[in-house]
Amino acid sequence: MDNARKNGSVVYSFATPHERGANPLYINVIPKFRCPNRCRFCRRGDAINGKPNIYEKKAGTSLYLRRAPKVEEIIGEVRAMVPGMSPEFLGYIPEIAFVGLGEPLAQFDLVCETIRALRRAGHVGKIRVDTDGTIKCMVAAQWDGCTRAGIDPARELEAAGLNEIRISVNETNSDDYDALCRPCFRNAFENICSFVNDCVSERIKTFVSFVVNFADGEVRTKSPEEYTEFARLRFGLRPESVIIRDYMASEGE
C-alpha cells in the first residue's frame, strides 16, 4: 500500500497570514509522517490514512514521502523553486523552514547537513526548524535519523547555521504533557525543557508554542496567560517569544 502511494513534495511554499508578508520556502524531510508523539490535537492521522487534511490542502501539495530525501535532492528542489533564478540567487530567499507533517528533527543528521549545504550554496537568510522538541530523547535512543549518540543537538544546529527554532512545548509539567501529547519516550517533557534552554544558551532565536482551547475528556489545555507565564519563569522568554495556537484554527505541524 505504502509503495503504491505517490511520493509528495520535498520543497513547497504557500503564504501564511501569521508571517506578516513573508513567504518562506518549506522543506519537508519527514518519511511517512513519522513523529515520536501522538498529540491528541494533531491532524496528522488524516494524512497517514491518505485522507484530505487541512495542512496539505493549505500547502497545495501532498507531503507524503516514502523515504527521507537526500541533501542533493533537497538543494536541487530549492533551486528549482526559485523561478528564473540561477543558483547564486539562492542568497535572496528570505527564509527557509523545515516544516512538515511529523517531526523534522527525527532526521537530525539530514537537517544539519542540509543547513550546511544551504549556507555553502549562498543562502544568507533565515533558516528555521519547527519541532516537537524531543530531540534529546531521539538522540539518546538513536531514533529514526538520529544516528549519533551523545551529541549536543542545539550546539550542532547553531554551528550548522540555524537562526531560529520554534519548539512545541504545549504544557507546563510532565504529567499534563504526557496526557496531551502521548510521547513514546519517558521524561519527554523535561528533555524538551532542557532543549529549549540549550537553544536559548546557543543564542538561536527561540520561540515556544502552546495549543489552547482544546479538550478531550479530562485532558484540557490551559489559558494563554498560564503558558506565557510558564515560558517566562522556566525559560526566561518574553511574551513575544510565545506562540499561542488556537485549536480551532490549528493546522497541526
Binding flags for ligand SF4, 84-123, as an x/- string (CB under 6 A): ------------------xx--------------------
Cα–Cα distance, 21 to 69 (Å, whole number): 29
- Minimum Å distance from CB 85 to ligand SF4? 32
**Nearer Cβ to ligand SF4 (89/247):** 247
Cα–Cα distance, 214 to 237 (Å, whole number): 24
Question: Which secondary structure element, helix H or strand E, spans residue 73, and what is its range?
Answer: helix 71-80
Q: Is 166 in the site for ligand SF4 (CB under 6 A)?
A: no
Q: Is 42 in the site for ligand SF4 (CB under 6 A)?
A: yes
Q: Judged by CB under 6 A, how many residues of this single chain contact ligand SF4?
A: 13
Q: Is residue 23 within 8 Å of residue 5, measured between CB atoms? A: no
The CA distances from residue 171 to 21, 239, 244, in Å, are 30, 16, 12
Q: Is 39 in the site for ligand SF4 (CB under 6 A)?
A: yes
List the one residue from 31, 69, 104, 252 that touches ligand SF4 (CB under 6 A): 252
**Nearer Cβ to ligand SF4 (35/137):** 35
Name the pairing type of β-strands 11-13 and 25-27.
Answer: antiparallel
Indicate the residue type of 223: S
- Minimum Å distance from CB 137 to ligand SF4? 12
Closest-CA residue to 54 (of 252, 211, 213, 216): 252
List the one residue from 11, 35, 74, 146 that touches ligand SF4 (CB under 6 A): 35
Cα–Cα distance, 119 to 127 (Å, whole number): 9
**Nearer Cβ to ligand SF4 (29/39):** 39
- Minimum Å distance from CB 99 to ligand SF4? 10
Strand partners, 150: none
Angle 168-82-80 (CA atoms, 0-180°, nearest 5)? 95
- Minimum Å distance from CB 119 to ligand SF4? 27
Name the pairing type of β-strands 25-27 and 205-212.
Answer: unpaired
Q: Is 38 in the site for ligand SF4 (CB under 6 A)?
A: yes
Q: Is 133 in the site for ligand SF4 (CB under 6 A)?
A: no
Radius of gyration (Cα) for the chain, nearest Å?
Answer: 17
Per CB under 6 A, residues contacting ligand SF4 are 35, 37-39, 42, 44, 102-103, 132, 168, 181, 252-253
